[in-house]
A = this chain, B = another copy of it.
């Protein structure tokens, strides 16, 4: 029997609503919320019961969460079921989210933009379109580089970077001096 406290309940509902804005969907959002907020690994039946959704829906949801690399499978001795948990390090989750979203939101577009740049512009409006495509391409490529960088960063480093906050401006101002030493 999988009981859920009122606090978790309201968080689960909220994550469900946000799920769709996050490129997932309601159920996926709810599922991940309950997994993240529960210390012990959960099996499909527990999730199904906690969220009052069908077992088959949970199965599909888990498949999706696996494809996002957001959950870890583990086995519990003496139990044949599969148990799932989220990484305990929140930074690892964030890193994964950024990288996976980039794969889904940027990579395909980057490839289409490159294709468009290879084409011969047929008139003035194509020429203008290509200028814009080039700008978008360059920007997206930079973002991609950053996410790759992020992927390889330790949680400590990532945290330090994010903590910089407004400090980043200051650092940018003096970066040249700094790197020349």
Contact = CB atoms under 8 A, between A and B. Distances in A.
Interface stretch (A51-59, A60-68, A71-79, A160-168): A160-168
A82 interface: no
A166 B149 contact: yes
Category for how many chain A residues contact B = 35 or more
A1 interface: no
Contacts of A121: 7
Interface string A105-127: 10011001101100101110110
A7 B126 contact: yes
Contacts of A163: 142
Given A11-B112, A38-B128, A166-B145, A21 B18 contact: no
Contacts of A116: 7, 10-11
